[in-house]
Structure 1
Amino acid sequence: MQRSSGILMPVPSLPGSYGIGSIGKSAKQFIDFLAAASIRYWQILPLGPTGYGNSPYQPLSSFAGNPYLIDLDWLTEHKYLKAEELPEKEAETWIDYGKMYNARIALLKKACARFPEVDPKDYLTFVKEEQGWLKDYAEFMAIKESQKGKPWQSWPQELRTHQNDAIAEVIAAHHDSALFYQRVQYLFFKQYEELRAYAKEKKVQIIGDLPFYMAPDSIDVWAHPEQFSLNPDGSLSACAGMPGQVWGNPLFNWEKMQQDGYAWWIRRAMFQYRFCDMLRIDHFQGFFRYYAIDPNTKEGYWCQGPGQDLFDRLEQANGKKEMLVEDLGELDDTFKAQVKASGFMGMRILEYAFDEKDPGSWYMPFQYALRNACVYTGTHDNNTLMGWIKDEPERVERACRYFGCTKKELWQVMLKCVWGSPCDLAIVQAQDILQLDGTKRTNNPFGGTHNWCWRAETGAFDTKLADWLKENMELYCRTNN
């Protein structure tokens, strides 16, 4: 890989006037900013539709796009909406997902109802080509709507167990709902195709993200129960977690998956390359060794995953793909060797470096000898850099001694450490170049009142900031040339 840099910026967090960032104008403006700053990569988070908790890592589908991210102005330009139907423009505040669930879906239904008037010629082609996932998505969402949003595990047995006659009966009664969920995906993919083309024109590449586990209440688990470790009634025979943590996600039935060469997993992974040029693989450790928990006793035990075999089969079927793997957490030497042997790019987090318990941590800057790695200030699950400097006095004191700088200088010194490292790729959070405090972090896995709700303000990514970034990209030989 050519030496380069990136910005981690969730699409929902982009500036905009309608309560949430979009894959339309606001995304294109951010791409313009990256191009002006000579930054090659835009790292986004998963784009799937979110459910309870709003986490993009708990999507309702491995394939569908999040309808909330559809650009409303684009819908007006293409005659799906009338200008007077648009909501009032508002300043950026925290994303209100409750408002999105009620008002935005109703507005999108109004837009999709106009398909007979403005139905593009390629809509039917889209439906035909995407039936492998689109039919399940539309049916699942229509049934869920008919069941007042209840998780599928609480549906009547004939629907819970995916009996075709029962499904057909519900869909016949809720045909308009199923049609909406099918049409809204067309609009999402149409807009995203335009965004991908615009990014390529500006020479900006997108890093996507593939969650490891599926949400229990997801289309994938409902439609493909054989791929998961479930009891006959759909309940979990075991669930995911870590020692001391119960995540509650269904585990994969790796033994079953191996029989057909991990076809479902490979299809799921390859689909994401429609959204990106490089793919970040979440929880890479889980492919080699994962923790299973008995839902009844809460006792846990370690299990072996498919390991490199899955990725070897993926490469055999689809050729070599650009991948970035999340190799974070408490990792032993065996797993570190497995990451190195895979040839994939691993991750180094500078905020993890200055821990008194592990002064020789491989997150320390002097350990960044491996060029085939991506170094971050922090990820979406970490504090902002300014928040870290405020909230971690002992680590900050060690960092200042390490760099020979003052606490006031540390923000810029740590950014320059990341950009100046030997790692091929250096990524910083958008909040870090904006010098935002810890109240503006993307997610706090240990709690928080505004998880997944932060938004940047209009004008935040201005020419002055782009010029400063470009100067640093030139200084550290990370320009987008």
Structure 2
Amino acid sequence: MLPLNPTGVDQAYSPYSSISSRAGNPLLISPEKLLEHGWLKDLEPYQLPAQSQVDYERVNELKTQMLAKAYQKFQQSASIYWRKAFREFCQQESEWLDDYALFVVLKNYQQQKSWSEWPQPYKMRESGTLIAFACEHEAELTYEKWVQFIFFQQWRELRAYGNQQNVQFLGDLPFYPSYDSVDVWANPEIFHLDEQGEMTCVAGVPPDYFNEEGQRWGMPLYRWDVLKARQYDWWIDRIEKNMELYDRLRLDHFRAFASYWEVPAEEKTAKNGAWKPGPGAEFFQILQEKLGSLSLIAEDLGDIGEDVYQLRDEFMLPGMRVLHFAFSDDMPRSVNIPHNHLPLSLVYTGTHDNNTTKGWFRQDLSPEEHRNLEKYVGGSLSEETIHFVMIRLAYASVAQTAILPLQDVLGLDEKARMNTPAGNSACWKWRLLPEQFTAVHEKQLRTWAEIYHRG
């Protein structure tokens, strides 16, 4: 699953650029559940036609209206049980929830400007100013907390139902929070910021398969020395909170725990950065001490050195293998080619950052890769069948888990791509249409699972 945190227009609704690493996305709240509880009378005013590309702006507008109406009804008619549950949620989650609600309401009053552009008392978190603001806007803060209460209540129901059906939820944890986030605003001491809260260096990756200038992500880097002195408390709290949502958790950009790319804030691209050491094994040792066994997965893609593999293997974390990366000139030795897969790994045809398999075959595959792919499978290939071929390679792998993007199961082309790294605003918009996934697809998945003993 993609991250479930709040998304916004400023970051093109990317789930990897959220205002909070712990809050849930209000856009994912189920209207049907609100209707079921009697907090909405009619869903028709909030309905939009089903389309393969989501209209985030319109969805956000209607969902905001809907939630405000539901909250009004909740205040008027909620039972003692629900009122008590809400109070308990606010108490139990106060460590992150209070700051989150305050941040959201402040952004509303500051015309959605980044916290770095707020008036000095709010920007620098002067306690007297924040207390006065919270007292004056208590009703709005309570509403934001209620939205989070509803999200987490619904998600717990969904996860419990899924687990009853033997469905596990594999979540994704972005490595860096956004600069304009409550995480950075409320915890400036653990990030590389100057005395005025401005970033001194930013995150990114060097030139790679996706971008010849690298990717300048623009998030602030961690001060690992400060976090180490605090026994990595912020990180441990964050992972613990996310493990309430999922059965397993993928650590995005895992390589940064070994070493990360530091880009001076004034640079326009990521080319002129440098590798810096991450927290390494000590972080995971303390994580194990605090949380016990780790149901974690290492996203070990990109420019990976032996230090990353050693860190991954020391803690027996499954890595990732992506078939789209397997057929270049180093095919026989590639870690992504099926004959080199490890049992302790996950194999993907492609991830959310890749093109769909049909789009990859049409647009991205070089002539050499095309030839290598045909040599590997022992026959000619076509657009009509390429997704079947790649799915079979994934399912036949010794990797303990095979993951197929639904676009590949359906055989969709590049129009259904979810994300293009360092791409444009067309990202993150693909949605499955009603009735698009059929009994034919279900039967095919079942057949593959049986053939390759993945049942």
Fold in common (TM above 0.5): yes
Q: Deviations over 1:24-78 (max 9, x none)?
A: xxxxxxxxxxxxxxxxxxxx11100013221111111111100000011111111
Give the deviation of 1:210 after TM superposition: 0.5
**d(CA) in 2 for partners of 1:161 and 1:110?**
34
Letter of the structure 2 residue corresponding to residue 61 of structure 1: S
Q: In structure 2, the residue corresponding to 1:280 is in which secondary structure?
A: strand
Letter of the structure 2 residue corresponding to residue 76 of structure 1: L
Q: In structure 1, the residue corresponding to 2:46 is in which secondary structure?
A: coil
Structure 1 counterpart of 2:58: 99
Do 2:174 and 2:251's aligned partners in 1 also have CA atoms closer than 8 Å? yes
Q: In structure 2, the residue corresponding to 1:292 is in which secondary structure?
A: strand
Structure 2 counterpart of 1:342: 315
**Pair 1:76-2:35 in alignment:** yes
Q: In structure 1, the residue corresponding to 2:404 is in which secondary structure?
A: strand
Give the deviation of 1:166 after TM superposition: 1.4
Match of 1:310 among 274, 280, 283: 283
- 1:33-72 alignment runs, 5 A limit: 44-51=1-8, 52=10, 53-72=12-31
Match of 1:292 among 248, 262, 268: 262
**d(CA) in 2 for partners of 1:336 and 1:431?**
30
Letter of the structure 1 residue corresponding to residue 344 of structure 2: N
Match of 1:406 among 349, 364, 380: 380
Structure 2 counterpart of 1:166: 129
Give the deviation of 1:397 after TM superposition: 3.0
Which of 82-91 and 433-442 deviates more?
82-91
**Pair 1:470-2:446 in alignment:** yes
Structure 2 counterpart of 1:88: 47
Give the deviation of 1:85 after TM superposition: 6.1
What RMSD over aligned residues (CA atoms) do the two structures have, in Å? 1.6
- 1:267-278 alignment runs, 5 A limit: 267-278=237-248
Give the deviation of 1:283 after TM superposition: 0.5
Q: Deviations over 1:441-464 (max 9, x none)?
A: 110114245200000110122222
**d(CA) in 2 for partners of 1:93 and 1:387?**
16
- 1:181-260 alignment runs, 5 A limit: 181-243=144-206, 244-260=214-230
Give the deviation of 1:296 after TM superposition: 2.8
Give the deviation of 1:96 after TM superposition: 1.4
Q: Deviations over 1:391-439 (max 9, x none)?
A: 1252233211210122124321211110011111111101000101011
Match of 1:379 among 346, 351, 359: 351
**Pair 1:388-2:364 in alignment:** no
TM-score, normalising length: structure 2: 0.92
**d(CA) in 1 for partners of 2:62 and 2:31?**
13
**d(CA) in 2 for partners of 1:337 and 1:314?**
17
**d(CA) in 2 for partners of 1:333 and 1:234?**
35
Letter of the structure 1 residue corresponding to residue 52 of structure 2: T
- The gaps in structure 2 that reach 5 residues or longer are 207-213
Which of 189-198 and 459-468 deviates more?
459-468
Give the deviation of 1:241 after TM superposition: 1.5
Structure 2 counterpart of 1:262: 232
**d(CA) in 1 for partners of 2:424 and 2:22?**
28
**d(CA) in 1 for partners of 2:315 and 2:274?**
25
Q: Deviations over 1:187-208 (max 9, x none)?
A: 1011001101101110100001
Letter of the structure 1 residue corresponding to residue 396 of structure 2: G
**Pair 1:456-2:432 in alignment:** yes
Do 1:92 and 1:458's aligned partners in 2 also have CA atoms closer than 8 Å? no
Which of 193-202 and 292-301 deviates more?
292-301
Structure 2 counterpart of 1:114: 73
**d(CA) in 2 for partners of 1:251 and 1:461?**
41
Which of 443-452 and 206-215 deviates more?
443-452
Give the deviation of 1:338 after TM superposition: 2.7
Do 2:343 and 2:399's aligned partners in 1 also have CA atoms closer than 8 Å? yes
| Number of aligned residues | 435
**d(CA) in 2 for partners of 1:312 and 1:456?**
40
**d(CA) in 1 for partners of 2:315 and 2:48?**
48
Give the deviation of 1:321 after TM superposition: 1.9
Q: Deviations over 1:213-247 (max 9, x none)?
A: 01000011001111111111111121112234321
Q: In structure 2, the residue corresponding to 1:252 is in which secondary structure?
A: coil
Structure 1 counterpart of 2:326: 353
**d(CA) in 2 for partners of 1:98 and 1:447?**
19
Structure 2 counterpart of 1:21: none
| Structure 1 residues 387 and 341, CA gap change in structure 2 (3 angstroms) | same
Structure 2 counterpart of 1:126: 89
Q: In structure 2, the residue corresponding to 1:54 is in which secondary structure?
A: coil
Do 1:143 and 1:171's aligned partners in 2 also have CA atoms closer than 8 Å? no
Give the deviation of 1:89 after TM superposition: 4.4
TM-score, normalising length: structure 1: 0.87
Which of 50-59 and 61-70 deviates more?
50-59
**d(CA) in 2 for partners of 1:223 and 1:70?**
26
Higher relative contact order by CA 8 Å / sep ≥ 6: 1 or 2? 1
Letter of the structure 2 residue corresponding to residue 242 of structure 1: V
**d(CA) in 1 for partners of 2:114 and 2:425?**
24
**d(CA) in 1 for partners of 2:43 and 2:327?**
54
Give the deviation of 1:113 after TM superposition: 2.1
**d(CA) in 2 for partners of 1:114 and 1:269?**
34
Give the deviation of 1:340 after TM superposition: 2.1
Structure 1 counterpart of 2:140: 177
Q: Deviations over 1:108-139 (max 9, x none)?
A: 11211222223313111111111011111111
